[in-house]
């Protein structure tokens, strides 16, 4: 992998997240409060009043602005060994994308403008919700900048096509934790993008061994892929 890959985690890491990272078949930089200042000039002390999820949004943008490379959320399972060449993952025809995967050059226009947007919100103490430092900017930017390439998310979110009803959170929990499927039930894909905030607390509390011994789709996939 020619580009450097970054992810972020602060605090105790659930067993299943540790297993997710074990599926990554390439080197990566695991950022936290102790080492992040080696990768960005941003003053993190200004942002520590925000949630860890919001801090992660701030870190990813500033690190990619200052270094370039690929950002992947830690709750990503790698089924294969190749990553999308596009800038983001989402719904290309709707010009909509997730912020869990970012692929940009150093000082790219999007990362530079995004970092400025975040800096202003931090300076003025704006705090309007979970997407404050993420989709509130990116959703608008990618709709007005067609050069941002978006890879289709379809195969990376199997809960969207394997379960038919309920909210996105309900479909996620139903697919991964109440069914008993394996990798062969998925559409061909290189990676699966999870939602740690939607993963049940009881599952987060399992050790790596307990996670692998559990009989549910999430554990089945991890068991097949982690080697």
User: What per-residue confidence (pLDDT) applies to 1?
Assistant: 57
Cα end-to-end span (Å), the chain: 20
User: What is the rounded average pLDDT for all residues in the chain?
Assistant: 94
pLDDT at 188: 86
| Cβ-contact 89, 24 below 8 angstroms | no
- Place 212 in a pLDDT band, splitting at 50, 70 and 90: very high
- pLDDT tens for each residue of 173-210: 999 999 999 999 888 899 999 999 999 999 999 999 99
Confidence check: pLDDT of 100 > 60: yes
Give the bridge partners for 71, in sequence order. 6, 102
Look at domain 5-152 and name its CATH class.
Answer: alpha beta
Which residues make Cβ contacts (< 8 Å) with residue 140, sequence separation at least 6? none
- Position 163 scores a pLDDT of 66
The pLDDT, as a whole number, for residue 47 is 85
Q: Return the axis-axis angle of helices 168-178 and 217-225, rounded to nearest 10°.
A: 60
Residue 164 has pLDDT above 80, yes or no: no
Q: Which two tokens stand for residue 155?
A: 């195969």
| pLDDT: which is higher, 203 or 2 | 203
Q: If you average pLDDT over residues 25-37, what whole number do you get?
A: 95
Question: Which whole-number Å values give the CA distances from 98 to 34, 90, 136, 151, 152, in the listed order?
Answer: 27, 6, 11, 10, 11
Q: What stretch(es) of the chain map to CATH 3.90.550.20?
A: 5-152
In this predicted model, what pLDDT tens digit does every residue of 50-98 receive, in sequence order?
899 999 999 999 999 999 999 999 999 999 999 999 999 999 999 999 9
Q: Is pLDDT of 165 > 90?
A: no
pLDDT higher than 60, residue 222: yes
- Cα distance between residue 132 and residue 161, in whole Å: 29
Percent of the chain with pLDDT over 70: 98
């Amino acid at each position: 992998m020619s580009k450097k890959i970054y992810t972020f985690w602060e605090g105790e890491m659930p067993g299943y997240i540790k297993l997710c990272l074990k599926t990554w078949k390439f080197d990566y930089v695991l950022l936290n409060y102790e080492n992040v200042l080696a990768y960005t000039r941003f003053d993190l002390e200004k942002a520590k009043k925000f949630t860890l999820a919001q801090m992660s949004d701030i870190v990813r943008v500033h690190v990619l602005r200052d270094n370039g490379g690929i950002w992947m959320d830690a709750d990503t399972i790698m089924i294969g060994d190749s990553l999308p060449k596009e800038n983001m993952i989402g719904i290309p025809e709707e010009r909509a994308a997730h912020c869990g995967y970012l692929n940009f050059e150093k000082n790219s226009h999007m990362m530079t403008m995004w970092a400025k947007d975040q800096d202003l919100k931090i300076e003025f103490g704006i705090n309007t919700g979970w997407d404050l430092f993420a989709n509130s900017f990116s959703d608008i930017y990618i709709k007005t900048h067609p050069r941002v390439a978006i890879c289709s998310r379809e195969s990376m979110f199997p809960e969207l096509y394997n379960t038919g009803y309920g909210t996105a959170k309900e479909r996620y929990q139903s697919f991964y934790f109440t069914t008993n499927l394996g990798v062969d039930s998925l559409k061909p894909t290189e990676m699966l993008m999870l939602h740690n905030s939607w993963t049940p607390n009881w599952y987060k509390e399992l050790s790596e061994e307990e996670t692998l011994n559990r009989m549910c789709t999430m554990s089945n996939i991890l068991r097949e892929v982690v080697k």
